Chain A
Amino acid sequence: MMVAEAEHRKGEEGALLAKRFLESTTYINITFSVYDDAAQTTLIRLDGKHKRYDLTGVFLGDNRRPLFVEVKNYNNVGNQPADYDEFLANAYSTTARDMSVNLDRSVEYMWITRHPFSQTKWSQLTSDKEIIAALDKHADTLNGAVVDSSIVRKLADRLWLVMMNSRQEEFLLTREELFLVHGVLQRKGIG
C-alpha cells in the first residue's frame, strides 16, 4: 500500500472513531465525514476561501445546532499549537462570514485530539484572548475586517476542546447497549 493511501486510511479510521465517540454521548449525530462528502464538511471564510473539517453533524435535542470537528490523530504534540491557532482564526472567520450575510446558524467548532498541547495555557485555549491572539497571527482570515469582540465572545462559547484516548472505544458501551439507551431517552433526532 502506498504511504499516502495508508495515511488516508489512518485518517479516516481516526475520524470514524471520533464519530463513534461523539455519537455515544447520545447528544450528537455526525452526518458526514470529509471522506463521505467533502462539500458538506466545508465552511466559507470572510476572504471567500474554503475551510474543510473532518466531520460535521448536529447537536440533538431541543437546541439543535451544527457542529464541525477537526480530528487530530497525533500521538505527540506535533504541530498542534500552530494548527490550533489556525483552527481558531478560521472558526472566527467562518462565523463572522455567516453573520455578515445574516445567516448565523450557531455553528459550534470542536478540536479532538489524542495528545495534549500548549499545556501551560490549556484551560485558556477556548478563551476570547486566545481567539484574538490567533487572529493576530492569521490576519488573512479577516480579509481586512476589524475584529468584533461580540463575535469573539459568541465564538468562545461555541468552542470545544476534547481529549480522546486512542483506547477510547474500550470505554464505550457497545452499539447494541447504546441503542437500548437511545430507546429510553427518546432524544429528538435531526428530523
Chain B
Amino acid sequence: MTTPGMRSAVEQALSHERGSDIIEGVKNAVAREFETLDPAAEIETTEYFNHSYVPDLVVRWNEGGRWEERSVFLRFTLRAAALGGDVRALGSTGPIVLTLREDDDELARQSIRREVADSPALLVTDVPALDEAASVGNTRQGSPLLSLVRANIVRGARGLLDSEVVGQLAESAAPTAPTDDEHGNELSLQRFASLVEALFLSDAATRLQRAANLVKIGLSEDANQLIISEGEDSLIGGRLSDAELRVLLPYLLAAPEITESRVYWSYIGSMMDLDRLETMASNLSDIDLTPLVAANLNSWSASRASLTWWADGEDTREDERATGWRIHAGILSLGIGNWRLHLAHDGRKLRGRTDSLMARWDDLSGALQNFELARVSLRGVVRTVDVEAERDSNVRSDVVTIRESIEDDFLVPVAEVRDPASDSAATIEADFTKMLAMASTRVSLRALARVALELLGHRYPVSDEERGQFA
C-alpha cells in the first residue's frame, strides 16, 4: 500500500547540505501531502521551522461557509516530541504534531500514547503513516470509507495515528457486495465505527460513522426495512459534509451493488439539496443521478427550469443523449422525449433563449387546464390584453371569455401559473420566448419540471409514461 510520496520527498529533503534547503524541501513535501489528503484545504507555510510554539504550516478550510484552521508542528522524531513535552504544551489548541523520521523509541511511544489521552483534540502522526493514508485509492471503485478517512485526517484525526493504526482502518473500511460476505461486512463496519470514534474528533467521527452506516444500508438487500426499522435512533441525520458529498455520493451512485430503494435515496437526499449538488457538479460528471433525484423531486427545490429541443443546439451527439438525470454543463438535467430539461437552484445559471416563438393561446389552453392560471399576456393582431387576478384565483375562465368575445389570434409570451398539486403559494412564470420556467420563490423540482414540460413543451408533449414520474 505504501507509495514513495512524502516519505521519499522528506528523506531527500533531509539529505540536503544546507539547512535552508532542508527546511524548504521538508515543508514543500509536507504541504504537497496535505494537499493530496485534503484537496479542498488551503495550506500555508510559515517562516518558522521546528519551533516550539509557532507552527510550520497552517491548514485552512471552509466547511459550510465557516473558515476553520489547524496548525501543524513538525518534529524530527517521536522522541523529540515526547522529551519536548509537545503534547501537553500544545494540546489545548488541537494541532497536528508530525514527526519526520521513524524512530523505535518505545518509551517515547508509550509516553505520547498516555499524553494524547489527555489532549483529545491533538493528533500525533508520522510521515510513513500519512503516506500510507494518502496512498488509499480515491476512485469511484475504491472504498469510499477509506477515501473519507483520508479526507478527514487533516481536519479531524486525533490521538496517535501510526502505520499500524492506518492499516487497521484500511482493513475495516473495505466493504464488499452483500453476496460476498454480509456478516463479515457487518463486523468490519462495526470495527471501523469503533476505530473512528477513538481516532477522530467528535464531528469527524460522527460523519465517518454515518458514512459507514449509509454504505452498510446501501449494500443491504432490505435497505427500506433498515431505514424504517432503525429510525432516528441509530441513523445519524444532519447535513452531509463537503467531503462526503465529494466522495461518498459518487460512490453510492456509481456502485451497481447499492440499492435503488426510493426510501434510501430519499433519506440521502434529506441530508443535502440541489444547491449543494450543483456545487459539486464536477465530481458527478458521467454518473446517472436518477435514484437520488427521482426520490427527491418533491423535497428538493429549484428556482428555474429551461427546456431545450435536442435538435436546437450542439447537444445532438448520441453520447450526450444518455438517459436519466445527469449533470450537464454544471446543471441538473434530464433527457426526456425530444427535450432536454435543466433545473437550477440558482436561477442565474439558466439564461434561456431569446428567439423562441410565443405560444398560441389556442394551442396552450388545453395544457393550462392542469394549472391555476394567475396571469397571462395575450397579444393579438388587433388587441393586446393582460389578464391578472387581484388575489389568488384562476383567471382562465376570464381569458376564455375574452377569447370568445374578440375575434383575433392571440399569442402568449408569458403565462404565470400555480401548481395545484403543490402547497406552495408561489407562482411560476412560463416564458415562451426564453423557454424558461421561473419561480417567484423556490418550488419543488416536480412543480418546475411540470410547468416546463407541459407548458413550455406543449407543442411536443412527452409520453404519458415519461410524464408519469412528475405526476
**Total interface residues on A, using CB and 8 Å?**
30
CB-defined contacts of B92 to chain A, threshold 8 Å: 176
B271 at the interface (CB under 8 A from A): no
Q: Which among B20, B47, B107 has the greatest number of chain A C-beta atoms within 10 A?
A: B47
Q: Are A13 and B83 neighbours in the complex by a CB distance under 8 Å?
A: yes
The winner among B20, B52, B90 for most chain A CB atoms within 10 A is B52
Q: Which of B20, B48, B52, B76 contacts A36 (CB 8 A)?
A: B76
Residues of A within 8 A of B85 (CB): 16
Given contacts A16-B80, A16-B83, A31-B19, contact A191 B51 (CB under 8 A): no
CB within 8 Å of A: which of B433-464?
none
The 7 closest A-B pairs by CB, nearest first: A189-B47, A175-B53, A36-B76, A16-B84, A178-B53, A189-B48, A175-B89
The smallest beta-carbon distance between A54 and chain B, in angstroms, is: 13
Give every chain B residue within 8 A of A175 (Cβ-Cβ): 52-53, 89-90
Q: Are A29 and B49 in contact (CB under 8 A)?
A: yes
Residues of A in contact with B (beta carbons under 8 Å apart) = 1, 9, 12-13, 16, 19-20, 23-24, 29-33, 35-37, 39-40, 56, 174-176, 178-179, 182, 188-191
Q: For residue B89, which residues in chain A have a CB less than 8 angstroms away from its CB?
A: 174-175
Mark contacts of B38-50 with chain A using CB atoms, 8 A cut-off: 1 yes-contact digit, 0 otherwise.
0000000011111
Task: Give 15 new A-B contacts, CB below 8 A, not counting A29-B50, A35-B79, A175-B90.
Answer: A1-B107, A12-B79, A13-B83, A16-B80, A19-B52, A19-B84, A23-B53, A24-B53, A30-B51, A35-B76, A56-B19, A178-B53, A188-B47, A189-B47, A190-B47
| Contact of A182 with B53 at beta-carbon distance under 8 Å, contacts A16-B80, A16-B84, A188-B47 already known | yes
Find the A residue at minimum CB distance from B86: A175
CB distance A29 to B19 under 8 Å?
no
Knowing A39-B17, A174-B89, say if A29 contacts B80 (CB, 8 Å): no
Residue of B20, B22, B53, B83 contacting most chain A CB atoms (<10 Å): B53
A31-B19, A37-B22, A182-B54 in contact; A191/B80 too (CB < 8 A)? no
Contact B80 A189 (CB under 8 A): no
Q: Knowing A37-B22, A174-B89, A176-B92 touch, does A23 contact B51 (C-beta < 8 A)?
A: yes
Residue of B14, B76, B84 with most partner-chain A CB within 10 A: B84
Distance of A1 Cα from B47 Cα, bound (Å):
38
Rounded to whole angstroms, the CA-CA distance of A101 and B392 in the bound complex is: 93
Q: Which of B20-71 contact A (CB under 8 A)?
A: 20, 22-23, 46-54
Q: Is the CB of A30 within 8 A of B50?
A: yes
Bound: A1/B92 CA distance, A = 32
B84 close to A40 (CB less than 8 A): no
Is the beta-carbon distance between A190 and B53 smaller than 8 angstroms? no
Decide yes or no whether B139 CB sits under 8 A from chain A: no
| B55 to A, closest residue via Cβ | A179
Point out the residues of chain B lying under 8 angstroms from A32, CB to CB: 19, 50
- Which residues of chain A have C-beta atoms less than 8 A from B79's C-beta? 9, 12, 35
Q: For the complex, is B356 an interface residue (Cβ under 8 Å from A)?
A: no
Which residues of chain B are near A29, meaning CB under 8 Å? 48-51, 54
Chain A: which residue is nearest B47 at the CB level? A189
Q: Which of B14, B52, B53 contacts A37 (CB 8 A)?
A: B14
Inter-chain contact A190/B23, CB cutoff 8 Å: yes
Q: Could you say which residues of chain B place their CB within 8 Å of the CB of A1?
A: 107
Q: B4-24, CB under 8 A of A: which get 1 and which 0?
A: 000000000010010110110
**Which chain A residues lie closer than 8 Å to B20 at the CB level?**
190
Q: Is the CB–CB distance between B54 and A31 below 8 Å?
A: no
When A16-B84, A31-B19, A190-B23 are in contact, do A179 and B76 touch as well, CB less than 8 Å?
Answer: no
Check B48–A190 contact: CB distance below 8 A. Answer: yes
Provide the bound-state CA to CA distance between A36 and B101, in Å: 9
Q: 8 Å CB contacts to A: which residues of B80-139? A: 80, 83-85, 89-90, 92-93, 107
Contacting residue for B53 out of A16, A56, A179, A191, CB 8 A: A179
